[in-house]
């Protein structure tokens, strides 16, 4: 991008008017690459220079990009890895974008990519309660007790997983909704209950779905989707009320298939809600 006057950049980025920008500069409240700038008419390169007002970085939101990609199997979500295809190989844009979170090499499904740093943090931090939904197929029929354990949370990698929502789809297939993303979490959880994942497919992150995207295809998020993701919200804290007695945990109810189709109609899939 061509050089631009600093006060014009502040205006284009939506910080303030040009005149107000000049006042901020004169007051010593604007820095470029760590140096305070007070000379009116100073020019910057928005693609290279880091501009801050009162210590906060200024980002031209008109240049922010938000993408949804259907990651194929065998592709990694790191930005650079020798001799291995990465998700950014599919994006043919001049601007550089970064994948939000991980989806391991053997898994498929939705990956979000953006150059919006604050949103990247919001989507990754578990305190914001952004959901991620997965479609899981295991090698053999998984019993109801194992699904209950996945839904209730379990010890894993020195901590305990948060409660999840689990919905049975068939004997060997279920969906799980998480609000966290530990390394290979679902595969580790399923292995802990004595089963093996054959297919792991992410179908949703927050309110964004993979939809009809084919493996390797990507699209820009709609303005409505971007607005939903970037809407201001505060992290959800979970303080324990002082003096409140712990309630006895009730076991999630499961939809148990009938022994005979003639005996009673087949029940609908049930969802285990987190406790």
Name the helix (H) or strand (E) containing 184.
none
Task: Kindly write down the DSSP assignment for every residue of 30-83, as one continuous string.
Answer: EEETTEE---TT-EE-TTT--EEETTEE---GGG--EEEEEEPTT-B-SS--TT
CA-based nearest residue to 64, from 16, 119, 6, 123: 119
Q: Are 153 and 159 in contact (CB under 8 A)?
A: no
Helix 144-152 crosses helix 185-192 at what angle (to 10 degrees)? 130
Exposed, middle or buried, 116 (CB in 10 Å: 0-12/13-18/19+)? buried
Residue from 45, 89, 92, 104 carrying the catalytic annotation = 104
The DSSP call for residue 159 is E
> How buried is 58 (Cβ within 10 angstroms: 0-12 exposed, 13-18 middle, 19+ buried)?
buried
Parallel, antiparallel, or unpaired for β 208-209 and 197-205?
Answer: antiparallel
Task: Report the candidate in 98, 101, 171 with the shortest Cα–Cα distance to residue 138.
Answer: 171
Can 104 be counted among the known catalytic residues? yes
CB 25 within 8 A of CB 38: yes
Residue 29: in which H helix or E strand, if any?
Answer: none
Residues known to be catalytic: 104
């Amino acid at each position: 991008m061509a050089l631009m006057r600093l006060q014009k950049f502040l205006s284009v980025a939506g910080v303030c008017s040009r005149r107000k920008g000049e006042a901020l500069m004169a007051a010593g409240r604007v820095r470029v690459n760590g140096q305070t700038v007070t000379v009116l008419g100073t020019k910057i390169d928005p693609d290279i220079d880091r501009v801050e007002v009162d210590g906060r970085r200024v980002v031209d939101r008109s240049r922010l990009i938000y993408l949804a990609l259907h990651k194929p199997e065998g592709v990694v979500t790191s930005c650079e890895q020798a001799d291995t295809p990465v998700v950014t190989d599919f994006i043919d844009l001049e601007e550089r974008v970064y994948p939000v979170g991980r989806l391991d090499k053997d898994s498929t499904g939705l990956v979000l990519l953006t150059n919006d740093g604050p949103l990247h943090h919001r989507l990754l931090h578990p305190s914001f309660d952004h959901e991620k939904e997965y479609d899981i197929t295991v090698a053999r029929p998984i019993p109801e007790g194992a699904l209950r354990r996945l839904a209730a949370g379990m010890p894993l990698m020195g901590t305990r997983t948060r409660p999840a929502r689990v919905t049975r789809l068939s004997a060997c297939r279920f969906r799980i909704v998480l609000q966290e993303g530990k390394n290979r979490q679902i595969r580790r959880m399923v292995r802990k209950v004595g089963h093996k994942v054959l297919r792991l497919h992410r179908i949703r992150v927050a309110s964004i779905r993979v939809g009809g995207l084919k493996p390797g295809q990507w699209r820009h998020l709609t303005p409505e989707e971007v607005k939903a993701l970037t809407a201001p919200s505060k992290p959800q804290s979970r303080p324990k009320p002082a003096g409140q007695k712990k309630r006895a945990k009730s076991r999630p109810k499961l939809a148990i298939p009938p022994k005979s189709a003639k005996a009673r109609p087949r029940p609908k899939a049930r969802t285990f809600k987190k406790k």
